Amino acid sequence: MESEASSFESSETLAAFVASTPLLEESWKACGVADASMDSHFAVIKVGGTAYVAFSGIKLAAGVDQSCRNLVPLPDELFSGLCMDGPDNLPMVHAGLLHLFLSVYTDNFFRNQNSVKLTKQRPSFSTTILCRPK
């Protein structure tokens, strides 16, 4: 029971923090752009030093654990700017969403259309992908 309370308190603190940033509003806008896109199912919008990647109408691969605890480290070869603290402190993301991003990233249309430079800002870094239901 104590573990559940701790998890709830952490979630509540995280929600309050996220709500105090432009993350939700900008992510929602990016989802709207992805929904309206005729030739692709994603959108990349840069706001200041942050790139928001939104997907529309794309499902996670079958068999992928959709639990929020299904985390994997970012691959260093693609995200080297984010993995500068060594192998013991790699940023973690949802495995299914990383797979989804990598499948779109390999598409030449994505790479030719969008220039997204990922960098790590001090003192902290977080990666968030939000899904908006249609």
Residue 98 has pLDDT above 60, yes or no: yes
Across 59-84, average pLDDT: 70
**Is the predicted pLDDT of residue 16 greater than 70, yes or no?**
yes
pLDDT digits (tens, 9 = 90+) for 33-67: 888 877 767 777 878 777 777 777 766 666 767 66
HSE on the CB side for 89, CA within 13 Å?
8
Residue 129 and residue 113: Cα distance in Å, rounded? 20
- Higher per-residue pLDDT: 105 or 34: 34
Domain edges within the chain: 2-113
User: Can you give the pTM of this predicted structure?
Assistant: 0.52
Share of residues in the chain with pLDDT > 90 (%):
0
Beta-carbon neighbour count of residue 26 at 10 Å? 18
Using DSSP's 3-state secondary structure scheme, residue 105 falls into helix
Judge contact between 21 and 15, C-beta under 8 A: no
pLDDT at 92 over 70: yes
23-40 confidence digits (pLDDT tens):
888 888 888 888 887 776
Tell me how far apart the 2 most distant CA atoms of the chain are, in Å: 50
Q: How confident is the model at residue 110 (pLDDT cuts 50, 70, 90)?
A: low
Q: pLDDT band for position 2 (50/70/90)?
A: low
Whose CA is closest to 25, among 130, 134, 133? Answer: 130
The mean per-residue pLDDT over the stretch 69-81 comes to: 73
